[in-house]
């Protein structure tokens, strides 16, 4: 059976969909059959980040309602044979996601995939509850700012109390912290929480620290998961996060201010 991973946060705009695309691609690149599902019914951004928006015919809700089968709705990534996308609907209401319907789709996907990555909407509304209910693992994505961290702390309470694992007294969801848009320079100026500050509040295993990077926006606009840009700090940081999730013990990078080289200092760069 597949392992189901929910990518969640309490606040919007922190990089959940970017993270969902990157982690799913990273797992697939390592040979694991992976499907990433967009739970943000009514908005649907994952297909844009994955660069497959023109190939959407059927969606998640079509499958739940029996209007198509899973194979008709799944979109195979052209860059990696082990990766598939199940897009959200842009025209339905989030209430179209039912616990029974979602559970049936995940059960069917679990027969042929190793990992199911669920890209959750922000906050605590219905779509977010549906995304996290069947999770085995949760990646809590947060920015290093007080409001984002506080909202993430609230999500942890929901993960621990309203999941299927909690209801059935199973081992709890494994929770990980992914810190995005991190800037050591701003931390040094006191404009941003440090990694230590965030970990002290949330007390989670640190999966990765993704540095503030223009490469993220460039990749998103190009329909390419940023993990594929291994020239960028962000791409490398996401690769490290995937490796840690799979059990590798890697040091965290991009936490310190980069020292300028001799010519950069001379030229004021």
Of 114, 121, 105, residue with least CA distance to 17: 121
Which pLDDT value is given to residue 268? 58
Provide Rg for the chain, Cα atoms: 18
The average confidence (pLDDT) of the chain is 93
Task: Express each pLDDT in 70-92 by its tens digit.
Answer: 999 999 999 999 999 999 988 77
Tens-digit pLDDT profile for residues 146-204: 999 999 988 898 898 999 999 999 999 999 999 999 999 999 999 999 999 999 999 99
In the chain, what percentage of residues exceed pLDDT 90? 83
Q: What is the pLDDT of residue 44?
A: 86
pLDDT higher at 216 or 257: 216
Residue 206 has which token pair? 């640190």
pTM across the whole model: 0.93
pLDDT at res. 122: 85
pLDDT of 216-229, one tens digit each? Answer: 999 999 999 999 99
Residue 33 has pLDDT above 80, yes or no: yes
pLDDT at 133: 96
* Arithmetic mean of pLDDT, 99-103: 96
Is the model's pLDDT at 261 over the cut of 80? no
Weakest-pLDDT range from 39-43, 102-106, 143-147, 189-193? 39-43
Q: Which two tokens stand for residue 246?
A: 């799979």
What is the edge-to-edge ordering of all strands in the sheet holding 3-8? 75-76, 83-86, 34-38, 115-119, 3-8, 137-142, 174-182, 205-211
């Amino acid at each position: 059976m597949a392992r189901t991973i929910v990518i969640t946060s309490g606040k919007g705009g922190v990089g959940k969909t970017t993270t969902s695309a990157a982690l799913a691609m990273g797992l697939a690149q390592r040979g694991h059959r992976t499907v990433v599902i967009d739970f943000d019914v009514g908005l649907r951004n994952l297909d844009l980040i994955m660069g497959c928006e023109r190939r959407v015919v059927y969606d998640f809700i079509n499958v739940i309602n029996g209007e198509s089968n899973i194979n008709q709705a799944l979109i195979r990534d052209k860059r990696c044979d082990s990766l598939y996308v199940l897009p959200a609907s842009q025209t339905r209401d989030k209430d179209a996601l039912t616990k029974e319907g979602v559970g049936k789709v995940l059960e069917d996907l679990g027969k042929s995939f190793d990992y199911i990555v669920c890209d959750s909407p922000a906050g605590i509304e219905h779509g977010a509850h549906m995304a996290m209910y069947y999770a085995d693992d949760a990646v809590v994505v947060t920015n290093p700012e007080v409001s984002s961290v506080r909202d993430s702390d609230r999500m942890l309470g929901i993960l621990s109390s309203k999941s299927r694992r909690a209801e059935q007294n199973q081992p709890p969801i494994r929770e990980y912290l992914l810190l995005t848009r991190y800037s050591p320079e701003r931390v040094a100026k006191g404009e941003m929480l440090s990694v230590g500050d965030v970990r002290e509040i949330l007390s989670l295993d640190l999966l990765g620290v993704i540095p503030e990077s223009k490469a993220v926006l460039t990749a998103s606009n190009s329909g390419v998961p940023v993990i594929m840009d291994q020239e960028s700090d962000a791409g490398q940081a996401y690769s490290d996060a995937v490796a840690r999730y799979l059990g590798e013990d890697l040091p965290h990078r991009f936490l310190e201010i980069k020292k300028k080289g001799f010519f950069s200092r001379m030229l004021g760069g």
